[in-house]
A and B are shown apart, each in its own frame.
Chain A
Amino acid sequence: MSDLDKQLVISILQVLIQYGPQAYQAIMNILKKGDPTPADWDSLTQIVAKNLHDK
């Protein structure tokens, strides 16, 4: 990992810690993943399927 990549990772961590633990964890999991599995794609589809006013 280059110095630039390390700086970007640190910046992401700083921003996402403020952003909320659930979003932080979800986005970091995505960024850490290798090639996605069908289940990974399905989990995105499930989020997208929520209605506008769902809790």
Chain B
Amino acid sequence: MYNKKIYQIPTILLLSVMLVACSSFIKTSYQTLGTTVHIVEAARQAYNNVYSLGGVSPDLDSKISALWPKYQDAMNAAISSSKAYQVATQNGLPASKEEVNIAIGNVEVLVNDLIALFSKAGVKDLPSNLAIERIK
């Protein structure tokens, strides 16, 4: 079970992105998306702790419930485009980094929207704006 202390999320993400900035494109993509997935998962579990204690209004929960599948779709699209890029380059086929970065941009928007709603629900000290660096 994840610890509730999720106020370190922006620090983790920033440091992780800085650390992997010089790695290969596909490795960096995996590390960036993977770290984000685990951070959102920790935030989701923290939200569930608040929710299970009755601390979330039905209206707010419905907003988060509506946003959650959009985040899932965006993250799955980013993972799929990264996998496709990897397969294409391994087979000597042309592949677009831009498509991967566009997908990461979509993830960034939705992750920030989710975090804003998690904060409203009482999950404390979440960042107001995460910046997920595009991969070069």
Contact = CB atoms under 8 A, between A and B. Distances in A.
Interface of A: 5, 8-9, 11-12, 15-16, 18-20, 22-23, 26-27, 30-31, 33-36, 38, 40-41, 44-45, 47-55
Contacts of B79: 41, 44-45, 48
A7 B109 CA distance: 30
Contacts, number: 105
Contacts of B2: 19-20, 22-23
Nearest to B4: A20
A38 B37 contact: no
Interface on chain B toward A: helix, strand, loop, or mixed SS?
helix
A11 B1 contact: no
Given A15-B15, A26-B38, A48 B1 contact: no
B2 to A, nearest CB: 5
Contacts of B8: 15-16, 18-19
Contact of A19 (B20, B42, B86): B42
